[in-house]
Amino acid sequence: MLRIQAIQDPDAPVLRPYRQMRKMTDTHGQGLFVAEGHKVVTRLVESPLKIHSVLLDATWMERLKAPLEARHEQIDAFVTSKETIQALTGFGCFQAIKAVASIPTPSTLEQLCKQGSHPRFLVAMDGLTSADNVGAVVRSAVGFGADGLIVGPTCCPPYLRRSVHTSMGTLFNLPVHHASVLADTLHELSATGFRNIAAHPHADAQLVEQVSLKEDICIVMGSEGEGLSASVLQACESSVMIPMAKGTDSLNVASAASVFFYEVMRQRQGNKGG
């Protein structure tokens, strides 16, 4: 059921989650996340995730009314001006449309291992601290066919506002498992037949195009500054690197992820005659 309510006062109590947007961890701690922008909110509406409310102007309300009414849960639609939304959140917005939804229950490792069909493709992140980088890795993972995401304990949560926005809502289609000890989780994966492959720009690493990626694998991406921790690196069966021009040692983790994930898809399409 959709309940539409006109809002003029940016200090209205019902809008509290939107006022907390700058303090991303506050909303996250309540098990909620904020989606912003037409494409991200549209993908949220098309997803099975539970939506609590939308905040938008009259133009976006008209466009989204039908798909919002088609959903099964009760959704509050707060309709106001773009100027009021900017006053409420404390920063400008290109598109006057936002939503608050529940963070989905994380997948167990067993559930994650059953996603998709063989050969399966998982992505693990170790120590990524930038929400934008996490979102960009997620977007590439979904774009190149990953079946699931493993988030290490020192990583930025993928459902922070900036992560969701940078992923452009593709996160809604990616099962996520939170590992309490990433190295232990990778060892468990190995026991089920996965090969853990470290994205590691080291002199003795193999080039990514020289490694077969046609079986069940988990590509492990390291932090922006330090790369992979020693325990996580030891839990990987092999290290692979991207060939770089002389004088350049590495790429930003988000850019590197796109290269690695593309190579997974390229090799597997070759198996299918594509």
H helices, E strands: number in the chain: 11, 12
- CATH of span 2-102: 3.30.1330.30
Q: Which CATH superfamily is domain 109-271 in?
A: SPOUT methyltransferase, trefoil knot domain (3.40.1280.10)
- pLDDT-derived band at 218 (thresholds 50, 70, 90) equals very high
User: Using one digit for the tens of pLDDT, what is the confidence trace for 174-189?
Assistant: 999 999 999 999 999 9
Average pLDDT over residues 32-48: 95
| Res. 111 pLDDT band, cuts 50 70 90 | very high
pLDDT for res 251:
82
What does the pLDDT read at residue 273?
39
Q: Is the pLDDT of residue 272 over 50?
A: no
Model pLDDT for residues 231-247, shown as the tens digit of each residue: 999 999 999 998 888 76
Per-residue confidence (pLDDT) for residue 73, from 0 to 100 = 96
- Whole-number pLDDT of residue 128: 96
**CATH 3.30.1330.30 spans which residues of the chain?**
2-102
Angle between helical axes of 58-69 and 38-46 (0-180°, round to 10):
10
Mean pLDDT for the stretch of residues 142-158: 96
Averaged confidence pLDDT in the chain: 90
pTM above 0.85, yes or no: yes
Q: What is the pLDDT of residue 270?
A: 60
| Residue corresponding to tokens 């949220």 | 44
Query: Helix or strand or coil: residue 27?
Result: helix
Q: DSSP labels for 39-82?
A: HHHHHHHHSSSPEEEEEE-HHHHHHHHHHHHTSSS-EEEEE--H
Burial class (CB in 10 A: 0-12, 13-18, 19+), 64: buried
Q: Is there a contact between 217 and 100 (Cβ–Cβ < 8 Å)?
A: no
Q: Where in the chain is the domain with CATH 3.40.1280.10?
A: 109-271
